[in-house]
Structure 1
Amino acid sequence: MQNPISNDLNDSATITPEAELLLSEVAQYLKPEDVTLLRNAYFFGQKAHSGQFRKSGEPYISHPVAVARILGELHLDAITLTAALLHDVVEDTGIQKQEISEKFGSSVAELVDGVSKLDKIRFQTKADMQAENFRKMLLAMAQDVRVILIKLTDRLHNMRTLEVMSPEKQHRIAQETLEIYAPIAHRLGLENVYQELQELGFCFSYPTRYKVLLKAIKAARGNRREVVGKILDAIRQRLQEAGLDAVVTGREKHLYSIYKKMVEKHLSFSNVLDIYGFRVIVRDVASCYVALGALHGLYKPIPGKFKDYIAIPKSNGYQSLHSTLLGPYGLPIEVQIRTHEMHHIAEAGVASHWLYKSKDLDAGMNDLHMKANQWMKGLLETLNDSSDSLEFLEHLKVDLFPGEVYVFTPQGKILTLPRGATVVDFAYAVHTDVGNCCVAARINGEISPLRTRLRSGDRVEIITAPAAKPNPVWLSYVVTGRARSSIRYFLRTIQYNESVKLGERLLNQALYSLGANPETIEPAQWEKLARECGVKSREDLLADIALGKQLAAVLAKRLEAPGESDTGMHGKNSITILGTEGMAVKFARCCYPIPGDGIVGLIKKDQGLVIHTQDCSTVVRIKDHKNMDNQLDVIWGEDIDRTFPVSIFTTVVNKSGVLARVTAEIAKADSNIDDISLENDKDYTTMRFILQTRDRHHLAQIFRRLKHIEEIVKMGRIKNQ
């Protein structure tokens, strides 16, 4: 490897005790040439950050050294540690990525770039900037997980030194840590980093609550020390009697986990009894189950409080047996049983048994790394499907708080989904195409609807149909970011295509009314207009017209190109409604227009074209205010082959069986009932229906059939709801 820094710089520079400590620590597992690389990176960073100081008054170089030391504790490779030492030079100094690449190699440069923020790009809001930072960071992380390892340890050291910041900054950074960084550390299995980030996040988010709870814990610690000692001795003795060589430790639960339990279960601190946990580490997997049996013989297990994460590991690769036992004095005891290897993975997660030194990463990748890689690939898919950074951040937060629902595919493969996940979430977890075409599922052999919530152990088979497509209603009950992102992406694409077609019709109508021929407009005119309106293409411009973001009449005047006008163009001044426009055209629920009604089109911003009846109170109100700019002339097309909802009422004499006769006559008239509501009086009942009809002629047929029911005293169509 080339020597990145000249020897004269090394000779003239000084090295801090912290940096010397870093180099001596990593020398325990790195090669001498790797230590030399780190030494040179330190001098390069020290020179780049010369004259810069942290809020605490320390030289800035102390921060990257501290970050590299945390990574060194996880035994990360030299490339990662080098990037950690240089992770702020691009963002905070005049050093360019290219210079780092030339001196330390492209791998280091890519890692540094992945961690760097986007300060040079201007965003509308701070939220947009922060969301875009996460977006870029996670995009880089999907290419190389070491990016997030550096970012997590960078955040950890910043949290350790957060007291120098203002209270407002402390709260904002701590909340961000609890919402994003701590859960990412958990998903990657970095348990120690995760726990410390949570504790520090809690401390600075709710400082008063933290102090009160810490004081209560210290008081409880003294009262329960003797009991905990007795439990430890009893566990060790029982395991020894079972012939097991085990390491047994007792630990206090972390403050934040106790606080969450108090909040979620509405408990006071005195009611949170299980603030102590016990960990048993044994030789092999078989010994885990032997230890479990021995402890269940010592203390009675609490029903429903056992989880086998060895047979079914968590999504981050974590494996242990968890059981809660009823100890002496009724004190609940939480026990974790695992092997030494499982313990190592639980502490270091994706950083354990680091594989980047391997020439063939894929060949050596173990199950844990594969799971982390799958999760990051899923994030990348969500990233590609999201329209903006804030939406992606919303999906990310959803995916960072998974529950423990483990479901099986028909082939026996286990999928991990968040608690509350539905059939649709499962379908999208299998494949995006499966999710887009799903219509139902078989859960444990029984047909179930798409909104069914899944439970651990369910065996799920998705039923698909080639013509099926995502429904906007799905967004109200899916919980995974992948499902939500895929549904929104599909709906946006469909709506965009439909909006482009409708926008073209609206603009053509406006051009014809000016005596202009749309076909004579040159591409250069479209390009110029799109540029002036701040959109990328003619299609974007047309979609904006359909969604009410641009007025067709205004754009038509700017595009006006005189062409030959003839009498054949006159009929094009009205927009023809065919009922097949999809999401680009909506039918108002205040008046429920159907073919045969006189109709008016209103353009509403971000909703598109909404069709009303001409006598609808909404239209009348607009006319009264002389606000006609967004009103369009629309007419029904011929041979419309679909049904439309319409609202009717019938007032009937209260008699047994009358509702059944009314609904039967509606069915005989070849109409479906979408909704029904009843309003009872002493002698009469008013029934309100929403029916599916083809047109006014079909509605008249329905009323003719209802006239045969002698109990009906009044009926009619409901408008202006």
Structure 2
Amino acid sequence: MAATGIPTIPAELAVADEPADILSPEDDPAYRVFLDSLNYLSPEEIDLVRKAYLFGEEAHRGQVRKSGEPYITHPLAVAGAIADWKIDVEGVIAALLHDVMEDTAVGKAEIVEHFGKPVADLVDGLSKLDRIEFQSQEDAQAENFRKMLMAMARDLRVVLIKLADRHHNLQTMAAVRAEKRRRIARETLEIYAPIAGRLGLSTLFNELQDLSFQLIYPMRARVLGRALKAARGNRRELLSRILDGIKGKLGAANIEADVFGREKSLYSIYRKMLDKRLSFSQVLDVYGFRVVVKDVPTTYLALGSLHALYKPVPGKFKDYIAIPKPNGYQSLHTTLIGPHGTPFEVQIRTAAMDKVAQEGIASHWLYKDSESLGDELQQKTTKWFHSLLELQSTAVDSSEFLEHVKVDLFPHEIYVFTPKGKIIPLPRGATAVDLAYAVHTDIGNHSALARINFNLMPLATELTNGDRVDIVTSADAHPTAEWLTHVKTGRARSKIRHYLKTAHVDESTALGEKMLGQELRALGVSAAEVPVARWRSVLRDSGNRLVKEVYTDIGLGFRLAGVVARRLLSKEHATLPAGQETPGASLVIRGSEGMAVQFAPCCQPIPGDPVIGSIWKGKGLVIHTHDCPAIRKARSAKPAKWIDVEWEPEAGQLFSVRVQVVVQNTLGALGRIATEISSSGTNILNVHMDEKDSGLYTTLHFTIQVADRTSLARLMRSLRRIPEVVRISREQGLPAA
């Protein structure tokens, strides 16, 4: 490595050593344009880029793209896009070499030797994994994406090169078969375009979306493109009138500004038509305007002038200067009513903000000496990538990680405040649970209630822009599977799933130990009497490392307790077929085992009910009542699969049960019934009535919590004493949707 930090150029890469029969790259117009775009680099750095091009050209020699062009044209185009963003020399070289490790015999060590370790690390982060390791193409794609994102978190240049690579691939897919074109385009819409948007690369974001749209729906894109072109001509006079009006008003106020007309991208128009079920003629805000001024105070002066010119639409003003978007975007947005009642949007920003709006994190290299722009933007982006590292640490596999990232890629649209005044950006539709996990994992795991604008509200409450939210925690509170149905952020979803899986394993381990102990007692020994040597033999045969893992497998239903018990007692010869172990004593449960023991929703068993259980793989023990109609066929078909279960005398838990009450249609009947239930100390979880009921009687359906069968019977007797109650019964079967 040279003293300047630029690697020394190996003699074998010198231009003078090129074979005479090979055309000089200087004769290629695309290469000359590329070199001209490197004028922001030093001569030494440009010389190194030349050598990198020769290295890549040599490595890819003989390879052609589907279109028939030499393969080197692709890396050259990607490097050209990187140069347009003014990325440093290492990024440009990595773009030129981004495919050599994947598609040629060149290894990482060779790149380190010629161009240094930083370049080699960039190229390695961009290279795909060996797909032989994976069972399906989907698994391979998920793991490739996971590796790429981890490389992005270490170096932001990786994502910029990858996005430029994907952009050029989409531009040159005419020779690719239609099925593959659509698959790559859909992947771009789901992952790569949102990443570009999340990084503030709005120009690239729109182009990736439009290109993907044209590849997936070529006919729709052509029809919409023709309609947009026609509308552009029809509205030219109106747009010119608005543009002249804006310029005249700003000029009269002595505000220096550049005013530009802008047009919605093809895909954004298509999405609006699809989401709001509009025809093209009904999409009125196809066109808008951008006003670029010298400094921040002038943006607000320009806003006031334009509001005096055209009436603003109430509720359509957004101040992204005071509260920037997470990707660093800053601008004032306002929607005005123009001539003939036509609404249009105006964006007002400074020149520096405009650069960030177009190029996002790529503008960091232009503003890297500015503490107010480049550094702050890079910090925000780095923070987001580090959150991805945290997500992948809790994900079970690459597919789950990819799911979390997809959720997190949707744009943040609301801002809420903590009690200390900190602003937390969240996606629209986020709940108090999302905010709790955004603040800290422990707060999320112990959330009990939310105080929203000083009012106590449930955790499932959807937050709105500007809410002040204080999370109330409790040591006894913990996540439930229901939370997953109303969270929006990938972080919250990942943390909840991690907690549930960990809790499930711990509870399943305890259940498995209990089940194995019961089987051993049925065979005449206690668990403590099992020789250590026998445990070692079972662990060796099963592939488990710890006894705890065997318990967990039993509790989760992956192993049968009777089989393990016989193997522990050296009675393999007595082992019966799976699920046909010798019956022993009933398994005693108390109802507080957590997720390892599940109570079937069809019959909702409670203490006092005769119950029976069945082990299901991955679910643990599922409890039904003996007379549950949902299991009659299953019990007769596989009787050995079911085990006898008994309730512990003092369960100490509350259990959900459904009760059906037929009442006379009289004023206040529902209130009297609800009062009677509450006064008995019973909690009402849900109540609804049959919509079809009319006339003299109405059927009410209550879901309540009781301690046992006795307390339920006591409650039902007290309800029968209410004059309006005609009939009351316990419901079985799955509840109505």
In the superposition, the TM-score normalised over structure 2's length comes to: 0.89
2:391 aligns with one of 382, 402, 424: 382
**Secondary structure, counterpart of 1:353 in structure 2:** helix
Give the letter for the 2:714 counterpart. Q
> Equivalents in 2 of 1:604, 1:352: separation in Å?
55
Count residues in correspondence. 709
> Equivalents in 1 of 2:346, 2:114: separation in Å?
51
Q: 2:73 is matched with which residue?
A: 62
Conserved in 1, the CA contact under 8 Å of 2:365 and 2:374? no
How far the C-alpha of 1:540 sits from its partner, in A, is 4.4
How far the C-alpha of 1:452 sits from its partner, in A, is 1.6
> Equivalents in 2 of 1:288, 1:12: separation in Å?
57
Q: 1:155 is matched with which residue?
A: 166
Q: 1:433 is matched with which residue?
A: 442
**Secondary structure, counterpart of 1:457 in structure 2:** coil
Q: 2:575 is matched with which residue?
A: none
How far the C-alpha of 1:651 sits from its partner, in A, is 5.2
- Bigger shift: residues 689-698 or 296-305: 689-698
- Bigger shift: residues 401-410 or 674-683: 674-683
Q: Cα 1:217–1:494, aligned 2, differ >3 Å: closer, same or farther?
A: same
> Equivalents in 2 of 1:274, 1:717: separation in Å?
57
Q: 1:469 is matched with which residue?
A: 478
> Equivalents in 2 of 1:551, 1:332: separation in Å?
68
Conserved in 1, the CA contact under 8 Å of 2:512 and 2:555? yes
How far the C-alpha of 1:47 sits from its partner, in A, is 2.1
Q: Cα 1:99–1:269, aligned 2, differ >3 Å: closer, same or farther?
A: same
Pair 1:579 & 2:584 matched: no
Q: Cα 1:539–1:112, aligned 2, differ >3 Å: closer, same or farther?
A: farther
Conserved in 2, the CA contact under 8 Å of 1:586 and 1:609? yes
> Equivalents in 2 of 1:196, 1:504: separation in Å?
58
How far the C-alpha of 1:601 sits from its partner, in A, is 1.1
Pair 1:12 & 2:17 matched: yes
**Secondary structure, counterpart of 2:603 in structure 1:** coil
How far the C-alpha of 1:541 sits from its partner, in A, is 4.4
**Secondary structure, counterpart of 2:450 in structure 1:** strand
**Secondary structure, counterpart of 1:592 in structure 2:** coil
How far the C-alpha of 1:403 sits from its partner, in A, is 4.1
Give the letter for the 2:607 counterpart. P
> Equivalents in 2 of 1:40, 1:226: separation in Å?
53
Q: 1:567 is matched with which residue?
A: none
1:588 aligns with one of 600, 615, 618: 600
Q: 1:695 is matched with which residue?
A: 708
Superposed CA deviations along residues 141-190 of structure 1, whole A, max 9, x for unmatched, are: 11211111111111011111111211111111111111111111111111
Conserved in 1, the CA contact under 8 Å of 2:364 and 2:374? no
2:377 aligns with one of 368, 377, 381: 368
1:602-613 pair list within 5 angstroms: 602-613=614-625
Conserved in 2, the CA contact under 8 Å of 1:517 and 1:562? no
2:458 aligns with one of 449, 463, 481: 449
Q: 1:566 is matched with which residue?
A: none
> Equivalents in 1 of 2:733, 2:194: separation in Å?
50
RMSD (CA atoms): 2.9
Give the letter for the 1:587 counterpart. F
Conserved in 2, the CA contact under 8 Å of 1:309 and 1:318? yes
Conserved in 2, the CA contact under 8 Å of 1:441 and 1:450? yes
Q: 1:146 is matched with which residue?
A: 157
Q: Cα 1:356–1:634, aligned 2, differ >3 Å: closer, same or farther?
A: farther
Q: 2:613 is matched with which residue?
A: 601
> Equivalents in 2 of 1:29, 1:662: separation in Å?
80
Give the letter for the 1:6 counterpart. A
Give the letter for the 2:708 counterpart. D
Structure 2 alignment gaps of length 5 or more: 573-581
Q: Cα 1:692–1:272, aligned 2, differ >3 Å: closer, same or farther?
A: closer
**Secondary structure, counterpart of 2:318 in structure 1:** strand
Superposed CA deviations along residues 519-574 of structure 1, whole A, max 9, x for unmatched, are: 3254543443343xxx77654443333233333334445555369xxxxxx99743
> Equivalents in 1 of 2:400, 2:676: separation in Å?
48
Pair 1:624 & 2:633 matched: no
Q: Cα 1:181–1:609, aligned 2, differ >3 Å: closer, same or farther?
A: same
Q: Cα 1:719–1:51, aligned 2, differ >3 Å: closer, same or farther?
A: same
How far the C-alpha of 1:283 sits from its partner, in A, is 0.8
- Bigger shift: residues 189-198 or 676-685: 676-685
1:46-445 pair list within 5 angstroms: 46-354=57-365, 366-445=375-454
Conserved in 1, the CA contact under 8 Å of 2:38 and 2:83? no
Give the letter for the 2:153 counterpart. A
Conserved in 1, the CA contact under 8 Å of 2:253 and 2:305? yes
**Secondary structure, counterpart of 1:118 in structure 2:** coil
Q: Cα 1:197–1:540, aligned 2, differ >3 Å: closer, same or farther?
A: farther
Superposed CA deviations along residues 75-94 of structure 1, whole A, max 9, x for unmatched, are: 00111111111111121122
Structure 1 alignment gaps of length 5 or more: 564-569
Q: Cα 1:666–1:86, aligned 2, differ >3 Å: closer, same or farther?
A: same
> Equivalents in 2 of 1:365, 1:237: separation in Å?
34
Conserved in 2, the CA contact under 8 Å of 1:443 and 1:460? yes
**Secondary structure, counterpart of 1:501 in structure 2:** helix
Q: 2:551 is matched with which residue?
A: 542
How far the C-alpha of 1:22 sits from its partner, in A, is 5.9
Superposed CA deviations along residues 297-316 of structure 1, whole A, max 9, x for unmatched, are: 22222222222111111111
> Equivalents in 2 of 1:394, 1:593: separation in Å?
35
Conserved in 2, the CA contact under 8 Å of 1:189 and 1:348? yes
> Equivalents in 2 of 1:231, 1:28: separation in Å?
39
Conserved in 1, the CA contact under 8 Å of 2:589 and 2:648? yes
**Identical aligned residues as a percent:** 51
How far the C-alpha of 1:257 sits from its partner, in A, is 1.7
Pair 1:500 & 2:509 matched: yes
Q: Cα 1:224–1:684, aligned 2, differ >3 Å: closer, same or farther?
A: closer
Conserved in 1, the CA contact under 8 Å of 2:596 and 2:620? yes
Pair 1:24 & 2:35 matched: yes
